[in-house]
A and B are shown apart, each in its own frame.
Chain A
Amino acid sequence: MSLRTGRTARAGQYAALLCYLVFLAFPFLWLISTAFKPARELGSLHPTWIPEDPTLDNFRQAFDEQPLLRAAANSLTAALCAALIAVVIATPMAYVMARHRGRLSTAATGWVVVSQAFPFVLVIIPLFLVLKYLHLINSLWGLILVYVVWSLPFALWMLAGYVRAVPPELEEAAAVDGAGKARILVSVTAPLLAPGIVATALFAFITAWNEFFFALVLLKTPEKQTLPVVLTHFLGAEGVADLGPLAAAAFLATLPSLVLFAVIQKRITGGLTAGAVKH
């Protein structure tokens, strides 16, 4: 491919790549820049990229204005529980989907695909009513249940891909030795799947940590609300926002997702395609 790529073409490619880099990076850099600017600079008509007088005041003020720690604790609880429950119940089902050709597997795969197209409007109203009936409105547990189900399609897809990568011969050998199915899954397959399970759990964690719509509808009192919902309180009614604290809080809320995503990035992008390959 590189045989015919001339020097000008190369230069053009680098220029194009640079444009992409600028487009992708500048909003985030601007968020960081705003987060460290003192109020005086934020009010000026000529904002600069690098804060002239960087400060941590915005962070202090953000914690004073909104209950960020409590919101972060709520988010952490919801995301951790949802991620753990999701992988615990998804792994066995993904195993069945990967190893057995039956109507059940077909139906499950069908659900995984259709659920991607689920209109949230159509689901959220009945979900609200069902949770209300179960007295799980305005409760983190209700939200956790929703997050579990909501992260299942992706978890099943990823995990089924990882299961297919485990050679069936290993399991057959264990079956010959008289091990039951649950036993095989726990002591033969699961250890081999461990890295994939961890990656899937982390992804489910990130999705739940970032989620906004369900949290907005299902959590009413401020004590229960998660971080994304509390962040929108900074915006105020007329959209007049205190930019500095807003940027500082938004920056902090993003850090866990960014760090975890960097850790699992390779596995997720690999797993997405592995899940797509069907033999």
Chain B
Amino acid sequence: MTLATAMTRSGRKAPEGGRGDGRRRDGATWFLVLPALIPILILSVGPLLYGIMLAFTDAQSGRTRSTQWVGLLNFQDLLHDTLFWDSFRIGLLWAVGVTVPQFVLALGLALLLNANLRMRWLARALAIIPWAMPEVVVGIMWRLVYNPDAGILNETIRDLGLGDGRDWLTGLATALPAVIIVGIWAGMPQTTVALLAGLQNTPHELHEAAALDGAGAWRRFRTVTWPAIRPVALAISALNFIWNFNSFALVYVLTSGGPGGRTRLPMLFAYEEAFRYGQFGYAAAMGCVMVAVISVLLALYLVGRLRGGEDA
């Protein structure tokens, strides 16, 4: 249906450039677009809509009885599911705890990489490593770092005479901070690259003029650099927040949600609900709630930021 409307719409549209037959051009355009459009509709747009629909049913895996509409029942159950809301809270803590430091650290690194330093090439090459690595390997690698006996972290602590160290990933208090550090490490490259691109578009003359006027480094950053990279900064931090909230593999490998659910991100929770307990409908409802809450939070953040920009 959407396909048909889109087709008539583009058919009505006047041909661009004015050469050739409009209808034929559209035919050719569709020929170019369809090979990608069909898979997108079947495996991306379709499943998304189907997923929203499932949230209103009692769909379960491997059941013989047919699936029934249950209206808002899943959402009512979810409202009283304290385990889910605990997990949701942890997810928000994780997403904010990763996104904010990640942004600050990446901004610092981007500024350094943009300055005329030696060894810049080495830093650039290293900064990319976490991006190229499989998330599973990142998780495994940090498990080796955090390992209580053979890990380098505890060994360093022992060397510095700061005690015996601890079992970071299984301690109730340390598990979440420990995985958050891994999250920050893993997402640094994308953020740094995006901010660096923004920095390289900053007008150089303005910088020099401000320096000649005697503006200090901080003032130059506030008045010249920050306004120039602001759009990039907004976009990348919003994207990071979404990516982090949806992340799965890292924490699955590091702690599988333990100890005692302290690192059970909503994605892990929904995964278990769907593929361990087979509660498809209920898990889909969780997905809907996650999307809804995240969309509202992001909208508030972006609107607030954009308005703040107008005032400044």
Contacts and interface: CB of A to CB of B under 8 A. Distances in A.
A binds B: yes
B141 A31 contact: yes
Interface stretch (B70-78, B92-100, B115-123, B301-309): B115-123
B252 to A, nearest CB: 8
A130 interface: yes
B141 A116 contact: no
A243 B217 contact: no
A121 B28 contact: no
Interface string A215-247: 001000000000110011011000101010011
A9 B111 CA distance: 13
A277 B29 CA distance: 23
A190 interface: no
Interface string B48-73: 10111010000000000000000000
B171 interface: no
Query: Which residue of B43, B117, B170, B242 has the most chain A CB atoms within 10 A of its CB atom?
Result: B43
B217 A210 contact: no
Contacts of B227: none
Given A17-B112, A123-B51, A149-B44, A232 B283 contact: no
A156 interface: yes
A210 B83 CA distance: 31
Contacts, number: 289
Interface in A144-197: 145-146, 148-149, 152, 156, 175, 180-182, 185
A226 to B, nearest CB: 10
Interface in B143-202: 143-145, 147, 149-152, 155, 158, 170, 185, 188, 193-194, 196-197
B9 interface: yes
B13 to A, nearest CB: 6
B31 to A, nearest CB: 7
A257 B197 contact: no
B1 interface: no
Given A1-B207, A30-B145, A243-B147, A185 B32 contact: yes
Contact of B123 (A3, A20, A152): A20
B128 to A, nearest CB: 6
Nearest to B30: A104
Interface in A36-55: 42-47, 49
Interface in B93-142: 105, 108-109, 112, 115-117, 119, 122-123, 125-138, 140-142
Contacts of A81: none
Interface residues of B, number: 104
A26 to B, nearest CB: 7
A28 B141 contact: yes
Contacts of B126: 21, 24-25
A59 interface: no
B123 A21 contact: yes
B25 interface: yes
A3 B43 contact: no
A25 B152 CA distance: 13
A189 to B, nearest CB: 11
A234 B136 CA distance: 11
Given A1-B207, A121-B274, A130-B42, A107 B6 contact: yes
A146 B47 CA distance: 11
Contacts of A9: 217
A63 interface: no
A164 B254 CA distance: 42
B102 to A, nearest CB: 12
Contacts of A246: 140, 144
A246 to B, nearest CB: 6
B234 to A, nearest CB: 13
B144 A243 contact: yes
A20 B40 CA distance: 40
A111 B129 contact: no
A114 B239 CA distance: 10
Interface string B5-17: 0100110010010
A278 to B, nearest CB: 12
A122 B48 contact: yes
Given A20-B109, A232-B252, 8 more contacts: A1-B207, A103-B9, A104-B33, A115-B44, A149-B39, A206-B132, A246-B144, A265-B128
Interface of B: 6, 9-10, 13, 16, 19-20, 25, 28-29, 31-33, 35-37, 39-40, 42-48, 50-52, 54, 105, 108-109, 112, 115-117, 119, 122-123, 125-138, 140-145, 147, 149-152, 155, 158, 170, 185, 188, 193-194, 196-197, 204, 207-208, 211-212, 217, 239, 242-243, 246, 248-249, 252-253, 256, 266-267, 270-271, 274-275, 280, 283-284, 286-288, 290-291, 294-295
22 contacts: A13-B115, A21-B122, A24-B127, A24-B129, A24-B130, A26-B152, A116-B239, A119-B246, A123-B51, A125-B284, A126-B54, A130-B42, A145-B39, A181-B29, A217-B271, A228-B135, A228-B249, A231-B136, A232-B136, A250-B136, A265-B128, A272-B193
